[in-house]
Amino acid sequence: MAQRLVYYVSRTFVDQLQEGQNYTELRPSICICVLAGQLFVTPPALHLDFRLRDHEHSLTLTDDLQIHLLQLNHLQVTEETVYNATPVERWAWFLRHAEELTSAQVARLFPDKEFSEAAEVLEMIAQTPQHLVEYNARLKAQRDEEARILYAQQQGKADGRAEGIDIGIERGVLIGRITLLQQLLQLPAGNEQLFAECSIDDLHRMSTELQQRFSAGRT
């Protein structure tokens, strides 16, 4: 896990520069990894912040490479205290309990607008008890696919570098969305070769069609 995180954050940082660009154009590369368990037993901290620092002195070489770990099993916040918790604690609590919450509970506990999109996704998954049962039944398979989805997203970003960083990120987001919808619809998952051969318009079309099929199945 540690090597994977270092690889992803370093690769994202290095891939920013194109021919003719200089170092001043580099922007920070920040990786946020949410862990259901823990990577470090001590200290028992929810949030661990890794950067390039001197080993013996309080000197930071640069903030341009950051790896943030959220170890959810170290979360001390409860439903009664989450409203007044720190932003990191609130997101951690939401991620840990999301599948147990209704949209009304999300609106009450997290009125901030940045939670609205997350609440919409939650409502889509848990619109009816049957959909929630189906979601839970597929959760194990979805976890098995997480590493492959992450790779597909990274590959989408890499493939899009020639078209621009924004297009690469958009490809990665679309591939992740398509893969999730395929799982929810119990369809065969696409592979890296299929996604690599698709244009950005093809991916948008595929995402729209799958979303329509999923929405039609709920009515």
CA-based torsion, 34, 36, 42, 45: positive or negative: positive
- The count of structural domains within the chain is 1
Note whether residue 208 is domain-resident: yes
Q: What pTM was computed for the model? A: 0.51
Instruction: Return d(Cα 136, Cα 34) in angstroms, integer.
Output: 19
Amino acid of residue 190: G
Average pLDDT value over all residues in the chain = 80
Q: What is the pLDDT of residues 146-189, one digit of tens each?
A: 666 666 666 665 555 555 556 667 777 888 888 888 888 888 87
List CB contacts of 154: < 8 A, sequence separation 6 or more.
Answer: 8, 11, 172
Q: Is residue 163 part of a domain?
A: yes
Evaluate whether residue 170 is within a structural domain. Answer: yes
* pLDDT level of residue 96 (50, 70, 90 thresholds): confident
- Tell me the residue range of the domain where 218 lies: 129-219
pLDDT, residue 170, reads 75
Q: What percent of the chain has pLDDT over 90?
A: 23
Using CA atoms, how far apart are residues 99 and 82, in angstroms rounded to an integer? 16
Cα 196 to Cα 152: distance, rounded to the nearest angstrom = 9
Return the pLDDT at 46. Answer: 92
- In tens, the pLDDT along 18-36 reads 878 888 889 999 999 999 8
Residue 112 belongs to a domain:
no
Residues 83-90, mean pLDDT to the nearest whole number: 90
